[in-house]
Amino acid sequence: MDRMVLDDVINRLLEVRGKPGKQVQLSEAEIRQLCLTSKEVFLRQPNLLELESPIKICGDIHGQYTDLIKLFQYGGFPPRANYLFLGDYVDRGKQSLETICLLLAYKIKYPENFFLLRGNHECASVNRIYGFYDECKRRFNVRVWKIFTDCFNCLPVAALIDEKILCMHGGLSPDLHNLNQIRNLRRPTAVPDNGLLCDLLWSDPSREIQGWGSNDRGVSFTFGADRVTEFLRKHDLDLICRAHQVVEDGYEFFANRQLVIIFSAPNYCGEFDNAGAMMSVDENLLCSFQILRPADKKPKFGFGSITSAKSGSAPTKIMVH
């Protein structure tokens, strides 16, 4: 993709800062270029990304473009900070197109500093139903939606930070015994109805069970704290970082702080009173959280840093004050 065209796309997408809800109408040709070029980058990089701290980790965005811009305003616009997003860029919110286009543009411009994982909504059978298809059809045509589908089918599904923090959208799988299984998942691919890839994007932790349980979503499984402890010990990991669930404070710990949920869409769908969060991992694997408050709370869009102190060598020993 021509660098001048790419920079122009990014500039136009950022021009609406401070204008909540204002659309940016790219051309179909520009969108096609974004999808084709980013697809090549995704396929050049592994399915299990191996990343280094420092890095900022964001959870679900779901088309809340104004909130995505706010995350960058507080965390630093690329390339000032390294970013990893955990998926679910589209559906539910009103500006899925702006959201995914800016993220793909940054991926192309900063391929070694900006990383995107696949969420369960980066799948045609899901975003056909929950809003993205309708937004593409209303603002462009079905052809554009299909172009995005081809791109989503190439997204990586997990990331390993400093060989200690494993990140994915959903969670663990009863079929996951070796991290090489993730590396060896073939792309491009649709998301199957069951199996390892499905679970990485769909499974949920549960405080109600030990081992594996059925999932109320009707897809994949739930897993207990014992599964997390066993998995971390077996693979010499410190923390699992995942998204996929709305949590009131934007982040929530599970399994004695061996797993953290990150959700980055505040006031989700306009129906929840949740905050959004971004987790910063420093060079010592110390994790801290920055909180994006719902719009109707005071101070409006207050973005506070919750400092975390680590006792011991693992980033799971986080003391949140």
Kind of pairing, strands 165-168 and 239-242?
parallel
Per-residue pLDDT tens digits for 86-109: 999 999 999 999 999 999 999 999
The 10 Å Cβ neighbour count of residue 252 is: 16
What are the pLDDT digits (tens) for 29-41? 999 999 999 999 9
Sequence letter at residue 32: R
* CATH code for position 208: 3.60.21.10
In angstroms, the Cα distances linking 9 to 6, 22, 54, 123, 268 are: 5, 15, 27, 25, 27
Rounded to an integer, what distance in angstroms lies between the CA atom of residue 107 and that of residue 97?
A: 15
d(CA 106, CA 44): 16
d(CA 1, CA 177): 39
How many domains in the chain? Answer: 1
Residue 121 is among the residues annotated as catalytic for this protein? yes
Structure tokens belonging to residue 14? 């950022």
Q: What pLDDT, on the 0 to 100 scale, is given for residue 310?
A: 30
pLDDT confidence band for 281 (50 / 70 / 90): very high
C-alpha to C-alpha distance for 160 and 213, rounded to whole angstroms: 26
Query: Which residues, at least 6 apart from 232, have a Cβ–Cβ distance to it below 8 Å?
Result: 238, 239, 240, 258
Strand pairing of 48-51 and 158-161? parallel
Q: What is the pTM of this model?
A: 0.92
d(CA 214, CA 237): 26
pLDDT tens, position by position, 204-220: 999 999 999 999 999 99
Q: Length of the chain, please?
A: 321
Inform me whether the pLDDT recorded for 297 exceeds 50.
no
Q: What's the pLDDT at 294?
A: 76
Q: Please give the residue range of the domain that contains residue 273.
A: 3-17+26-320
Task: Tell me how far the alpha carbon of residue 1 is from its chain's centroid.
Answer: 24
Catalytic residue among 121, 235, 244, 321: 121
Residue 107 near residue 38, CB atoms below 8 Å: yes
Mean pLDDT, rounded, of the chain: 93
CA-nearest of 278, 296, 280 to 288 is 280
In the structure encoding, which two tokens stand for residue 92, read together?
A: 């539910």
In DSSP terms, 310 is beta-bridged to 318
> Does the structure show a pLDDT above 50 at 48?
yes
Tokens for 96? Answer: 């899925």
What is the structure's pLDDT at 295?
62
Of residues 218 and 314, more confidently modeled: 218
288 in helix, strand or coil? Answer: strand
What pLDDT, on a 0 to 100 scale, did the predictor assign at position 320? Answer: 28
